[in-house]
């Protein structure tokens, strides 16, 4: 009997810790599944998905594939339709289905850092990629009414205006040069690659709100360090990684994700 397959796709992908989490989950669930990290670019995604045979159960998608995959899906969840980004693909009888576990992952990571009672009303999101789209949806779910969006490429502002209209939140776009003026939100979410927002570390307010930096690496970013030094709630990318992966495991297997086993594997791999 063929081994059931799943994988995380992206470019670059060698740094991904998704295999650590998924392999730990499947082992804990007693499933003989494989899960690999595979280098796939925007130009090779179509051929890769078309090559996936019956042994394939699902895919995790990271940069830069979360929006590129949309035309390749046979079906998409309501959340994918609203957000315009999918980080998860399930292979079913009707073809590839798209899902988004980033939105709930962001909400869970923030709640873990700031507490379940955390009720932000303003937010600042740094970056304008697919994860930023999920971040807008997540803060809207948390009750945020006004989002300051700091973009490196202002041409993306119109896309976020459409998203804001669908979500019923107010999005205020700003150029990256203005980002340092907007770090006073109840929640700040950095969706840029690791270290990109470190230039803003000197502008962290004396009494900041909560911070989620979605990127992860061997060392914490300067932005996270400065935020932590002020005693404010901070979540790094490992929390988001854990929670979005746990939802993927449930989607792939139909079983509750073994969070403790996944968290232990992540700690062993990172020392954090």
Residues 97 and 12 both lie in one domain: yes
DSSP string, 213-264: E----SS--HHHHHHHHTT--EE-HHHHHHHHHHHHHHHHHSS---HHHHHH
Phi first, then psi: give them for residue 166, nearest 5 degrees.
-70, -35
Range of the domain at 33: 4-101+239-270
pLDDT at 68 over 90: yes
Tokens for 233? 């709630």
CATH of the domain at 171: 3.40.50.720
**φ/ψ of residue 19, rounded to 5:** -60, -35
Percent of the chain whose pLDDT exceeds 90: 93
CA distance linking residue 117 with residue 9, whole number of Å: 35
- Which pLDDT does position 217 carry in this prediction? 83
Number of residues assigned to the chain: 272
Do both 224 and 125 map to the same domain? yes
How many folded domains does the chain comprise? 2
Q: What per-residue confidence (pLDDT) applies to 272?
A: 77
Question: What residues contact 175, with CB distance under 8 A and at least 6 apart?
Answer: 150, 151, 154
Give residue 60's pLDDT.
Answer: 99
3-state secondary structure of 184: coil
The mean pLDDT value for 59-72 works out to 97
- Residue 51 and residue 128 in one domain: no
What is the average pLDDT across 239-245?
A: 98
Note whether 89 and 180 are same-domain residues: no
The model's pTM is 0.96
Residue 79: in which H helix or E strand, if any?
helix 78-83
Pull the structure tokens for residue 83. 């957000």
Region of 11 please: left (phi>0), alpha (psi -120 to 50) or beta. Answer: beta
User: Is the residue at 106 inside a domain?
Assistant: no
User: Could you confirm whether 207 is annotated as catalytic?
Assistant: no
Catalytic residue among 22, 66, 182, 220: 66
- Give the model confidence (pLDDT) of 173-187 as tens digits: 999 999 999 999 999
The conformation of residue 2, written as its DSSP 8-state character, comes to: P
For residue 238, whether the previous peptide bond is cis, meaning omega lies within 30 degrees of 0, is: no
Same domain, 92 and 138: no
CATH number at residue 52: 3.40.50.10860
Same domain, residue pair 41 and 26: yes
Tell me, yes or no, whether 109 lies in a domain. no
State the angle between helix axes of 259-270 and 18-28 in degrees (0 to 180), rounded to the nearest 10.
140
Confidence band of 1 (pLDDT split at 50, 70, 90):
low
Residue 248, domain member (yes or no): yes
> Is the same domain home to 43 and 146?
no
Query: Per the structure block, which two tokens stand in for 46?
Result: 């179509």
Q: Does one domain contain both 81 and 185?
A: no
- Which two tokens mark 63? 């940069």
Reported as a single tens digit per residue, the pLDDT across 186-199 is: 999 999 988 889 99
Identify the bridge partners of residue 235 per DSSP, sorted by sequence position: 212
Residue predicted with more confidence, 162 or 219: 162
Q: What is the pLDDT of residues 71-126, one digit of tens each?
A: 999 999 999 999 999 999 999 989 999 999 999 999 999 999 999 999 999 999 99
Q: Are 129 and 83 within one domain?
A: no
- Residue 218 pLDDT > 80, yes or no? no
C-alpha–C-alpha distance, residues 159 and 161, integer Å: 5
Predicted confidence at residue 2, as pLDDT, reads 80
> Would you say residue 123 lies in a domain?
yes
Query: To the nearest whole number, what is the mean pLDDT of the chain?
Result: 96
User: In whole angstroms, what is the distance from residue 212 CA to residue 118 CA?
Assistant: 13
């Amino acid at each position: 009997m063929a081994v059931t397959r799943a994988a995380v796709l992206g470019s670059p992908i060698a740094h991904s810790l998704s295999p650590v989490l998924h392999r730990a989950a499947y082992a804990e669930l007693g499933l003989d599944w494989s899960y690999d990290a595979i280098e796939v670019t925007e130009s090779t995604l179509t051929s890769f998905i078309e090559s996936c045979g019956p042994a394939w159960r699902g895919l995790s998608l990271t940069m830069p594939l979360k929006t590129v995959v949309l035309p390749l899906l046979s079906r998409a969840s309501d959340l994918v339709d609203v957000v315009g980004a999918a980080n998860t693909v399930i292979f079913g009888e009707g073809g590839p289905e798209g899902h988004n576990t980033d939105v709930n992952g962001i909400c869970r990571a923030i709640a873990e850092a700031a507490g379940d009672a955390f009720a932000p009303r303003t937010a600042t999101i740094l970056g304008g990629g697919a994860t930023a789209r999920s971040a807008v949806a997540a803060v809207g779910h948390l009750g945020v009414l006004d989002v300051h969006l700091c973009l490196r490429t202002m041409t993306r502002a119109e896309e976020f205006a459409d998203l804001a209209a669908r979500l019923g939140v107010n999005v205020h776009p700003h150029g990256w040069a203005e980002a340092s003026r907007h770090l006073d939100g109840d929640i700040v979410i950095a969706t840029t690659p690791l270290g990109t927002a470190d230039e803003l570390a000197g502008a962290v307010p004396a009494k900041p709100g909560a911070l989620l930096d979605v990127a992860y690496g061997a060392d914490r970013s300067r932005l996270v360090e400065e935020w932590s030094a002020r005693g404010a709630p901070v979540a790094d990318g490992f929390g988001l990684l854990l929670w979005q992966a746990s939802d993927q495991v449930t989607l792939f297997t139909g079983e509750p994700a073994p969070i403790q086993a996944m968290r232990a594997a992540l700690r062993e791999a990172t020392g954090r």
